[in-house]
Amino acid sequence: MHQVDWVARWGGLVADREEAAHKDGGHSDPRYWDRRAPTFARSTTGRTEQFLEVVRPFVSARTTVIDVGAGAGRHAVPLAERAEWVTAVEPSEGMRAHIPALPNLTVIASAWEDAEVAPADVVICSHVLYGVADVVPFVEKMERAARARVFIMLREGPVPHPANVLRDKIGSAPLPPIPRFSDLFMVLIQLGITPDVRFISYPVVNRYASLDEAIADCKPLFGDGWDEVDGARRLAEMLVRDGDELVYDSGLSVSGIAHWQPRLS
């Protein structure tokens, strides 16, 4: 019987996606997340965070937390209201600018792979691993940093972003799939980790202040293949006016949460 190497499969998924995304110059800008930060923060503000409902039973006033890839702080900030201390690790300057200053919140400007952080009780990571080819060292570093619990959340489904829908319609070819939660689960099993699992679903709505902002958010996925006329027209047709904003309703997104006691604790 053929034995699947899930770690190798994960690396292949990331490599295929990266090659396709860069083929026409897409996602080649190292400041991609800096530029996308305002839109990302606007689209995620106020979103009901079922992920936090899974994490909170493990967090008390005496708990320390590390948020790996904290983004604009949508998990780090509410956890800081409950925990003794939260360390938010985030490489994007644009994202970090949206994290408010709090007396018990430290922000580290670094990718997780390069970050030097003191261990914490709980280590969380939400929607970060999709582009991480070397998933094993990433997860093992999370385990080494966690004294009590590790949490990782990933989507189990397509990317809920208008650029991906538009790329499938007018791009030279559909993008290969990114790793899903089910891929992560099998990687963890291969590593000897049997996590607790919780699936959640939540609405995803992408919000833009203008059509120009929406175009700037979607163009990086096309790179040199972006058509200024046809791309802008089709994107405008996808967006709906909501007050002062333009929105794209991606519907319900399903994500899986794996959490476990670190093997090294």
pLDDT digit string, tens, across residues 46-103? 555 899 999 999 999 999 999 999 999 999 999 999 999 999 999 999 899 999 999 9
pLDDT at 26 > cutoff 80: no
Select from 157, 148, 125, 119 the least CA-distant residue to 138: 125
Q: 240-242 and 105-108: which strand pairing?
A: unpaired
* CB atoms inside a 10 Å sphere around CB 191: 16
Burial class (CB in 10 A: 0-12, 13-18, 19+), 121: buried
* Mean predicted confidence (pLDDT) in 7-34: 74
* Mean predicted confidence (pLDDT) in 92-118: 96
Report the range of poorest mean pLDDT among 21-30, 66-75, 98-107, 241-250: 21-30
Tokens of 154: 């990933």
User: Please, what is the average pLDDT of the chain?
Assistant: 88
Tokens of 166: 């538009």
Ramachandran category for residue 107: left, alpha or beta (phi over 0 → left; psi -120 to 50 → alpha) = beta
Please, are residues 175 and 20 in contact by the beta-carbon 8 Å criterion?
yes
The position carrying tokens 């972003």 is 161
Query: Which comes out higher in pLDDT, residue 113 or 36?
Result: 113
Please, are residues 98 and 123 in contact by the beta-carbon 8 Å criterion?
no
Q: Which residues, 6+ apart, have CB-to-CB distance to 236 below 8 Å?
A: 211
Beta strands per DSSP E along 76-195: 85-89, 105-108, 120-126, 146-155
pLDDT at 202 > cutoff 50: yes
pLDDT at 23: 64
Backbone angles phi, psi at 176, to 5 degrees: -60, 155
* Mean predicted confidence (pLDDT) in 249-255: 89
Report the range of poorest mean pLDDT among 3-7, 9-13, 49-53, 60-64: 49-53
Select from 218, 240, 242, 241 the least CA-distant residue to 169: 218
pLDDT at 1: 46
* Highest mean pLDDT (candidates 42-46, 112-116, 250-254): 112-116
pLDDT at 17: 84
Select from 89, 177, 172, 178 the least CA-distant residue to 126: 89
Burial class (CB in 10 A: 0-12, 13-18, 19+), 237: exposed
The secondary element (H helix, E strand) that includes residue 199 is strand 196-208
Q: 85-89 and 64-68: which strand pairing?
A: parallel
Compute the distance between CA of residue 239 and CA of residue 257 in angstroms, rounded to an integer. 30
**3-state SS of the chain: helix, strand, coil percent to 5?**
40, 25, 35
Asked: is 6-40+48-159+173-201+252-260 a CATH 3.40.50.720 domain? The reply is no
pLDDT at 96: 95
pLDDT at 29: 54
Instruction: Report residue 130's pLDDT band, with 50, 70 and 90 as the boundaries.
Output: very high
**Per-domain residue ranges for the chain?**
6-40+48-159+173-201+252-260
pLDDT at 35: 59
Please, are residues 153 and 55 in contact by the beta-carbon 8 Å criterion?
no
